Homo-oligomer: A and B are copies of this chain.
Amino acid sequence: MGVVEVAGVGMHPFGRHPDTSTTDMGVVAVRAALAEAEVGRGGFQAAFCGTAYGGVACGHKVLGALGMTGMPIVDVEAGCASGGAALQLAASAISSGQHDCVVVFGVEKMPRGIIRSSFFDPWQEEAGLAATPGYFALRAMRLMHTSGVTKDHLAAVVVKNRRHGAENPDAMFRSEVTAAEVLESRLVCEPLHLWMLCSPNEGAAAVVLRAGTGTGVRLASAVLRSHLPGSVLSESTPMSGLTDDAVVPPTTLAARDAFQESGLGPEDLDVVECQDTDAARELLSYEELGLCPAGGSAELLESGATTLGGRLPVNPSGGLLSKGEPLGASALGQVVELVRQLRDECGSRQVPGARTALSHTVGRGANAGVVVLQR
């Protein structure tokens, strides 16, 4: 399989942009990525657009506004992992020799507040079982039970990511917070307080991939996996599961594949961006990705390893807790951050000497996407 390199990245800042259309945000991100890659009209042979709420022909509108159509343009949806799915398809098209250069982007304008997903059936909504933060809370509670995680650890994740995000001009929240402030924010679903949950918002991110020589930033692996049945608290949100705690979660499936494909392991990583839809989800991701042993997430956090300056900074961008979550754009937002980290472009939030990076998203479906990048 051929080498795939990241030729350029671009972002439209994540936040609330009532006067900017989905198309306009996409244009900003794609144009910036193409400029970095020095790729113009006719310079790429396919485009993939990740979006969940972008509507019919979302990707076409962006490329139409740019005056760059004609190639296949496909919109892909895989929940929080939509951008990861798009990246995987693009990388395959290049590594297989089908294309030389592919543009991947994600765009989203999320509805405000709790997302009314088409995911749930009407009876689930009527019975109060479409309570998205409730599921997050149940997962958090199980993690507290199995891994010694406390509410103080949950607050500490928020403090860490908001501190990181304060240094990121593309983040929505750019102020630091204290643990006390986090724990004083409104209780949404015990143990989760409002500031422990990311905000759905708006934004765009773009990545240009091309067949490469291995110089620059290389896409070592991009894997998408869905869940195996059996886990009652899976992101697939079943109404029942088995009394079986050994069901391998999709994040672990994807990470195993990505490590195998790239010939790397958790010990090789210098920097990670992972799914922090809520503070507990970040800690669970540590365990599911193999950044620590099962049950070891609280200890890893406490060690300071995952804070900027530590051994393996996680979410140096500030994570979704600082950036907010524009569903179709969030996975590519992580990739943009990591490419910039690997290029040593991140200034005050730079992970010094970072050479190997991993991004992780997981969400409705359930889908998990893992991307490994190397310089």
Instruction: Please give the residue numbers on chain A whose beta carbons come within 8 Å of chain B beta carbons, in ascending order.
Output: 52, 55-58, 60, 63-64, 67, 69-79, 85, 88-89, 92-93, 96-98, 117-119, 223-229, 236, 238, 250, 253, 364-367
- Residues of B within 8 Å of A85, CB to CB, are 72, 74
What's the minimum C-beta distance from A112 to chain B, rounded to whole angstroms? 17
Tell whether A56 pairs with B70 under 8 Å between CB atoms, given A64-B236, A93-B92: no
A sample of 19 cross-chain residue pairs with beta-carbon separation below 8 angstroms, ordered by A number, consists of A52-B56, A56-B79, A56-B118, A56-B119, A56-B364, A57-B79, A57-B364, A63-B226, A69-B226, A70-B253, A72-B85, A72-B88, A72-B224, A72-B226, A73-B367, A74-B76, A74-B224, A75-B77, A92-B98
Asked if B225 contacts A70 (CB within 8 A), the reply is: yes
What residue in chain B is nearest A60 (Cβ atoms)?
A: B365
Asked if A78 contacts B79 (CB within 8 A), the reply is: no
What's the minimum C-beta distance from A25 to chain B, rounded to whole angstroms? 15
Asked if B229 contacts A73 (CB within 8 A), the reply is: no
Query: In the assembly, what is the distance between CA of A366 and CA of B59, in Å?
Result: 11
Asked if A72 contacts B225 (CB within 8 A), the reply is: yes
Query: In the assembly, what is the distance between CA of A284 and CA of B310, in Å?
Result: 64
What residue in chain B is nearest A99 (Cβ atoms)?
A: B92
Query: In the assembly, what is the distance between CA of A89 and CA of B90, in Å?
Result: 10
Q: Please give me the 3 A-B residue pairs with the lowest Cβ-Cβ distance, nearest first.
A: A55-B118, A96-B96, A72-B224
A75 touches which of B71, B78, B119 (Cβ 8 Å): B78
What's the minimum C-beta distance from A123 to chain B, rounded to whole angstroms? 12
- Residues of B within 8 Å of A56, CB to CB, are 52, 77, 79, 117-119, 364-365
Tell whether A96 pairs with B92 under 8 Å between CB atoms, given A57-B79, A57-B364: yes
What's the minimum C-beta distance from A33 to chain B, rounded to whole angstroms? 19
- Residues of B within 8 Å of A75, CB to CB, are 76-78
Tell whether A60 pairs with B236 under 8 Å between CB atoms, given A74-B85, A76-B74: yes
- Residues of B within 8 Å of A71, CB to CB, are 225-226
Query: In the assembly, what is the distance between CA of A85 and CA of B364, in Å?
Result: 22
Query: In the assembly, what is the distance between CA of A278 and CA of B250, in Å?
Result: 44
- Residues of B within 8 Å of A226, CB to CB, are 60, 63, 69-73
Tell me which of A63, A78, A117, A365 has the highest count of chain B C-beta atoms within 10 A of its own C-beta. A365
- Residues of B within 8 Å of A364, CB to CB, are 56-57
What residue in chain B is nearest A248 (Cβ atoms)?
A: B70
What residue in chain B is nearest A78 (Cβ atoms)?
A: B74
What's the minimum C-beta distance from A231 to chain B, rounded to whole angstroms? 11
Query: In the assembly, what is the distance between CA of A75 and CA of B250, in Å?
Result: 17
- Residues of B within 8 Å of A367, CB to CB, are 57, 60, 72-73
Given A57-B236, A70-B226, A73-B226, 15 further pairs, Cβ under 8 A: A55-B118, A56-B117, A57-B78, A57-B119, A57-B364, A60-B367, A69-B226, A69-B227, A70-B227, A71-B225, A72-B224, A73-B78, A74-B76, A76-B76, A92-B96
- Residues of B within 8 Å of A78, CB to CB, are 57, 73-75
- Residues of B within 8 Å of A60, CB to CB, are 226, 236, 365-367
Query: In the assembly, what is the distance between CA of A112 and CA of B238, in Å?
Result: 30
- Residues of B within 8 Å of A74, CB to CB, are 76-78, 85, 89, 224
- Residues of B within 8 Å of A96, CB to CB, are 92, 96-98
What residue in chain B is nearest A89 (Cβ atoms)?
A: B89
